[in-house]
Structure 1
Amino acid sequence: MADYPKEGKTDEIPNFIQFTDLASEHVGGKVLFATDDFFAPAENLLKKHRPSYKPKEYTEFGKWMDGWETRRRRTPGHDWCIIQLGIQGLIHGFDADTAFFTGNHAPRISIQAACLQNEDIPNIPPRGTKLGCAATAEEFEAIEKLESENWHCLVPMEELKPGYSGSNHNYFPTSSHQRWTHLRLNIFPGIGKSKSMADGWETARRLDRPPIIETDKDGVLLVPGSEWAIFRLAHPGVVTQIEIDTHHFKGNYPDTCKLDGCILTTPEEEEGILQKWHLPNVKWKPLLSVTKLSSNKKHFFDSVALQLQNVITHVKITIAPDGGLSRLRLWGFPSSICLLRPSERVLSSRRFPVIVPLRAMSSTFKIT
């Protein structure tokens, strides 16, 4: 078995790592549900031993990995699993270990928690051997009864580091003073860097620009017109952070952009498409006011929806006067409301301190 890949500096070890790992299989922790286990099953997250790597070992589905590894997602939503703690108790922190996942680790995670009684747990089909599988419709139907998307958030969406030696441990302290019995671990796919301008959105030059360009007192171009695009979110929710990336767009990036959101039902969306989005009754709410952009750069903004707690289903990005963007990313919290048709919904005491190790997406997941 191979050693950890070498790169990066050694992680600082937090104090909570000395506490009991409440999620470990050694104390009875188990996985109740996972959306996908194609390359490696979620049960690996809870192993008590250090992650290992076997360079020459493969399964019928791909490279053998000592962690949880889902297939590359090509459908709306994200992957997640439900973990029943072996020992219920206070959680002081998490250790998400991405050991050996250096190019295929989950870019981001979030963690939710609940304190459930036995009678709260639905009859979930046994997981059995899950390699090469995704959750069945029967499993989704059973786990939906937990309404885990509404559980308390202990760790908001955070980025994970790749699994090189010295940086594979991703520590997340928590300040919760409540006893927990179950966790929902969410892993979020990466959109990835654009490879070139062709791997992005670029509009044609507007021909109605004046011969000589002027700006206002804030440096915004005084030109007519703009270009826009509308997207349906994978899940209704509140947008808290916005990333707008102009990577590769050095001489043809937009001068400014703005972002708005709204709630639309499926019939309203269909009507919008038919009417080419000339819908006077749709009330767009501002997420980002008119903002100057720079060339070849990632821009990060806090959404005004965070203060307003506006739930949205669709966003409209407007660029002026024209140009190109490589990526648009919207971070936030999903809402339990769903306005799509049912067929379109995404199936989606004594106290102990806890550590939870996460394995790959991470290779291990520890809770303390």
Structure 2
Amino acid sequence: MTSTSAGAAVGAHADASAGGGAGAEGGKACTPLTSYTGDALPYAGGNPFADYRRADLTRAGLGSLADLADRRLGAGVVVANDEFFAERENLLVRGPAVFDPERFGHKGKIMDGWETRRRRGASADVPHPDPADHDWALIRLGAPGVIRAIVVDTAHFRGNYPQAVSVEAVAAAPSASPDELLDPELRWTEVITRSAVGGHAENAFAVHLERRFTHLRLRQHPDGGIARLRVLGEVAPDPEWLAGLGTFDLVALENGGVVEDASDRFYSPPEHTILPGRSQKMDDGWETRRRRDTGHDWISYRLAEQGEIRAVEIDTGYLKGNAAGWAELWVRDGEAAEWIRLLDRTRLQPDTVHRFLVEPQAATHARVDIFPDGGIARLRLHGSLTAQGTDRLVRRTAALG
């Protein structure tokens, strides 16, 4: 059994891939960020995560990327060839996999992941699976995007994980059917070559393809179980769709908005503020620690492209005793431009959607300042792309293929 330190493995590969792109890796589509292989020890009681092998994605510079396979964005597992022991949909469940050592059903141990039956060979003389045998699942990403890393998490699959995995990707219609995705004429791109993985571990791979994808085909060789799949990357929206909408949320994750930085991530991440829909519980928004100084907290964003903001929503949903007291909104047009105040400091109410009409202002970046601390659940910046922003987005999307 190999139990390489996640920090050492991630750190070494992160340094080697400095500069990004396939060229930095000698043309390779992917680079393993962890080197876990082999079984984990059988569960011996107590905390099941005590011997779990984690990947340090933050150290590799991947910690704040969006999960393109987030069901909150609309991701789903379209179909799988086998899910005898555990359903394919578990792959995209939010949060860590749960393990209950006493939970069994008619088919055996109930696992929180996707698990297939054991493969067998062709005959008594050839009892082992053929090297080409494998199981597969097709995943629709929640938003089209450029993939920067993939995490194949085998939590709690200690001796029943796959020996190896591989992943392919394709750009297709977001609503493509299983038959369309399984059409042999459809050309898939390999993003993770067949690679050995370890049990009860986060197996992470950096991806170096500057391509826009909508679907993945996850293969496990020859069989076994995977608890979770995370697809970290950057949303690459459809310019035609945004043009058709006209007015849309320029900072929304699903439209290509990004959190660039924040003053505090203590209780919940700032990326939550640009997720779809309203917050459903307190930690579904952004909450900071309590300040004991005279400063304030903030989040900075990059918009989908240059756009003209006309209306603002600040939602403090489910933040009742810990909502920010006041908020300001600042924008700028370009990395080097000065910040311009778009919304004066305004009192916020707990658990409330606040709506403001503002003087139209072209911008590429935004920053919300909250006083003195606390949190907000969602930020919406409604407007339209400028002609310049539309042109840049169209050219950038075309370059991704």
TM-score range, shorter chain: 0.3 to 0.5
TM-score, scaled to structure 1: 0.44
TM-score, scaled to structure 2: 0.41
